[in-house]
Copies of this chain bind each other. A is one copy, B any other.
C-alpha cells in the first residue's frame, strides 16, 4: 500500500496546488502553453486560464509568451515562475519528510483490524 501527499496553498488571491505547479513545469519542458496543456489532457483555454490565475495571485507574470513569428510564438517561465515551482517542490519534499512517521501510522491502519473496530 502506498500514500502520497500533495500540498495545497491557499493565498488570499487564490489557490496553488500540484495541478498548477505541474502545468508550470510542463510549460518549461515544452516551451508552449498549448503543448503543456495537451500533455496534461487539458484544452489551451483551460491551461491559459490557470496561468492567468497564477499571474494574478502573484501580481506578475510567471509565464512569458513570445508573440508573433511564423510559429505563433512560444512560452517559457519567468524567473518568478521558476522560483515559485522550485519553492513549491521544496516545500512538498520537506512536508513529506517531516510527516512521514504520521503517514506511516495512517498506512498501518489500512486493512489492519483492531480489537475495537468492527468490520464494515
**A residues adjacent to B (C-beta < 8 A):** 1-13, 17, 55-61, 64, 78-80, 83-84, 87-88, 90-92, 94-99, 101-103, 105-107, 109-111, 113-114, 116-120
A-B pairs with beta carbons under 8 Å apart, 20 shown: A3-B9, A4-B10, A5-B9, A7-B7, A9-B103, A56-B120, A60-B117, A78-B118, A79-B116, A80-B109, A80-B116, A87-B106, A88-B106, A91-B99, A94-B98, A94-B99, A95-B95, A95-B98, A95-B99, A98-B98
- Decide: B11 and A3 in contact? CB cutoff 8 A: yes
B117 touches A79 (CB 8 A): yes
Interfacial chain B residues near A4, Cβ < 8 Å: 9-10
**Given the complex, which residues of B lie within 8 Å of A55, measured CB to CB?**
120
Q: Which residues of chain B are within 8 angstroms of A105 by Cβ–Cβ distance?
A: 83, 87
Q: Are B79 and A91 in contact (CB under 8 A)?
A: no
Docked Cα-Cα span, A60 to B114, in Å, equals 9
**Chain B residue with minimal CB distance to A95?**
B95
